[in-house]
């Protein structure tokens, strides 16, 4: 089975592009928008609509496989590729990527994805991570159609992985509606929540950390109030470096504060993502490792999750090798081709580091569904409900795709044993 045509169309994502630098430096919220001038190259506003490019591969038998090129909410920050606008990149896909795809035999996802990952632009540059992400999704879907199996099975077969017919924990994120949307996640019985978007010291963390401490206390009590005796989700909160800012990067003070957060969360387990932003990859690895070792020395049972400066597969290898975090977020669009997410999960697990198939609220339903198959095949500790920040939609997309796939896999296994 071969690819006979490539189609593209512009699309919208499940959230927005946000200028992280401008927000961290005090851009004022104005309803759902932000006031102030953007500070990251390419942005025309502090918050602007998220854009995507849908890539459709037409196969010889008329079947169509698709994937969506999308970039993370905080594009251009923390060493990431620049802002991804559909009008800028659709012509590149059609002129430079499509000719390489047309006529390709759909015999191996790994082969095709590997070729695309190493393909260079005429000037020698790499293609934007969003392009590699979306096109590789389409290729994975196309190989699955050609072989008449699920994308999960393509991955397990090509990577020599066991096929485990069990769900993977789903992580719901609340966005700024961290109270109302936490209720939604609890009612849906999400296994991990709430992310909470703690990206500003004064308004969200508190200058002494008091606002986040009060929120964790409320959240623990809310789980007990709305949940049931057996529902004990993991609390996973992304603080975007604000703990480091509030406590002046003092590891001792940060350790003591995170210990208080962990006590407030009990009996629930707590993870803190991105406690500081050291401004460089080397600095971040050093700082996270120091914090992790300090927490271990004080027997504080709170996990540290690497986020900023841990963007590519090579970055994940470095953070893992340094044992700089208990868990790495694998931000799927930032890694480029989806095969890099597969390999990142496997690498982290090999060396005893937790793997979180994350990504961004600023993706599309296609990315969310594809990552379900990656997760079912590679078995990370958790995967993100995406796209969006509203809980319901992202959780529905990921949860339903997971259960549909598991039903198909169980059906096939049952037939094979008859």
Same domain, 181 and 319: yes
Q: Is residue 240 part of a domain?
A: yes
Q: Is residue 199 part of a domain?
A: yes
Tens digits of residue pLDDT in 9-47: 999 999 999 998 898 788 888 999 999 999 999 999 999
The number of helices, as runs of H, and strands, as runs of E, in the chain is 15, 13
- What is the pLDDT, as a whole number, of residue 344? 98
Q: Of 184, 204, 331, 386, which residue is the catalytic one?
A: 331
Q: Is 331 a catalytic residue?
A: yes
For residue 87, the domain's CATH number is 3.30.390.10
* pLDDT values of the chain reduced to their tens digit, one per residue, 418 residues: 999 999 999 999 999 999 988 987 888 889 999 999 999 999 999 999 999 999 999 999 999 999 999 999 888 876 678 899 999 999 999 999 999 999 999 999 999 999 999 999 999 999 999 999 999 999 999 999 999 999 999 999 999 999 999 999 999 999 999 999 999 999 999 999 999 999 889 999 999 999 999 999 999 999 999 999 999 999 999 999 999 999 999 999 999 999 999 999 999 999 999 999 998 999 999 999 999 999 999 999 999 999 989 989 999 999 999 999 999 999 999 999 999 999 999 999 999 999 999 999 999 999 999 999 999 999 999 999 999 999 999 999 999 999 999 999 999 888 877 6
Same domain, 54 and 79: yes
Same domain, 246 and 347: yes
Q: Is residue 338 part of a domain?
A: yes
Same domain, 288 and 229: yes
- What is the pLDDT, as a whole number, of residue 247? 98
Q: How buried is residue 366: exposed, middle or buried, by Cβ count under 10 Å (0-12/13-18/19+)?
A: buried
Which of 159, 178, 195 corresponds to the end of one domain? Answer: 159
Q: Residue 95 CB: number of other CB atoms within 10 A?
A: 10
- What is the pLDDT, as a whole number, of residue 322? 98
Same domain, 149 and 290: no
- What is the pLDDT, as a whole number, of residue 78? 67
Q: Is residue 164 part of a domain?
A: no
Residue by residue, DSSP assigns 19-61 as -HHHHHTTPPEETTEE-S---STT-SSSEEEEEEEEEEEEETT
For residue 383, the domain's CATH number is 3.20.20.120
Q: How many CA atoms lie within 13 A of 152 on its CB side?
A: 26
Same domain, 138 and 196: no
Report the number of distinct structural domains present in the chain: 2
Which of 104, 137, 159 corresponds to the end of one domain? Answer: 159
Q: From residue 218, how far is each of 178, 232, 248, 333 by CA, in Å?
A: 11, 15, 26, 33
Q: Is residue 57 part of a domain?
A: yes
Same domain, 41 and 139: yes
Same domain, 150 and 200: no
Q: What angle do CA 334, 198, 216 make, to 5 degrees?
A: 125
Question: Cα–chain-centroid distance for residue 401?
Answer: 17
Q: Which domain holds residue 330?
A: 170-417
Q: Is residue 180 part of a domain?
A: yes
Same domain, 308 and 205: yes
In whole angstroms, give the CA distance from residue 357 to residue 383. Answer: 5
Same domain, 272 and 386: yes
Same domain, 64 and 130: yes
The whole-model pTM stands at: 0.95
Q: Is residue 165 part of a domain?
A: no
Report the interhelical angle of 251-265 vs 281-297 (nearest 10°).
60
Q: Residue 125 CB: number of other CB atoms within 10 A?
A: 8
Same domain, 174 and 137: no
Q: Is residue 365 part of a domain?
A: yes
In whole angstroms, give the CA distance from residue 103 to residue 417. Answer: 38
Q: Residue 206 CB: number of other CB atoms within 10 A?
A: 17
Which of 159, 186, 218 corresponds to the end of one domain? Answer: 159
């Amino acid at each position: 089975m071969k690819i006979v045509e490539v189609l593209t169309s512009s699309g919208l994502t499940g959230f927005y592009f946000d200028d992280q630098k401008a927000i961290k430096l005090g851009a004022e919220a104005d309803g759902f928008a932000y006031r102030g001038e953007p500070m990251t190259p390419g942005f025309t506003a502090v918050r602007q609509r998220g854009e995507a490019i849908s890539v459709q591969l037409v196969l010889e038998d008329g079947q169509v496989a698709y994937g969506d090129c999308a970039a993370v909410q905080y594009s251009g920050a923390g060493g990431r590729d620049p802002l991804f606008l559909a009008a800028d990149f659709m012509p590149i896909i059609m002129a430079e990527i499509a000719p390489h795809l047309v006529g390709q035999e759909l015999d191996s996802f790994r082969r095709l994805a590997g070729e695309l990952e190493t393909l260079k632009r005429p000037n020698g540059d790499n293609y934007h991570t969003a392009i590699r992400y979306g096109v590789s999704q389409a290729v994975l879907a196309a190989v699955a159609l050609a072989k008449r199996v699920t994308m999960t099975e393509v991955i397990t077969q090509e990577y020599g992985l066991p096929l485990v017919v069990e769900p993977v924990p789903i992580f719901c994120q609340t966005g700024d509606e961290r109270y109302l949307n936490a209720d939604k996640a609890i009612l849906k019985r999400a296994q991990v929540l709430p992310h909470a978007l703690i990206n500003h010291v004064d308004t969200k963390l508190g200058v002494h950390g008091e606002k986040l401490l009060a929120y964790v206390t409320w959240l623990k009590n809310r789980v007990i109030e709305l949940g049931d005796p057996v529902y004990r989700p993991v609390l996973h909160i992304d603080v975007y470096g604000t703990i480091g800012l509030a406590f002046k990067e003092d590891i001792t003070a940060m350790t003591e504060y995170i210990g208080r957060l962990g006590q407030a969360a009990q009996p629930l387990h707590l993870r803190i993502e991105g406690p500081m932003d050291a401004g460089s990859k080397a600095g971040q690895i050093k700082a996270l490792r120091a914090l992790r070792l300090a927490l271990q020395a004080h027997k504080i049972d709170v996990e540290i999750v690497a986020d900023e400066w841990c963007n590519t597969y090579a970055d994940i290898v470095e953070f893992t090798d340094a044992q700089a975090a208990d868990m790495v977020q694998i931000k799927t669009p930032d890694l480029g081709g989806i095969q890099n997410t597969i390999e990142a999960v496997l690498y982290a697990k090999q060396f005893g580091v937790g793997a979180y198939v994350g990504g961004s609220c600023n993706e599309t339903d296609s990315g969310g569904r594809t990552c379900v198959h990656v997760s079912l095949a590679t078995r990370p500790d958790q995967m993100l409900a995406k796209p969006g920040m509203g809980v319901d939609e992202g959780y529905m997309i990921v949860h339903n795709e997971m259960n549909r796939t598991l039903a198909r896999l169980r059906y096939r296994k049952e037939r094979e044993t008859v």
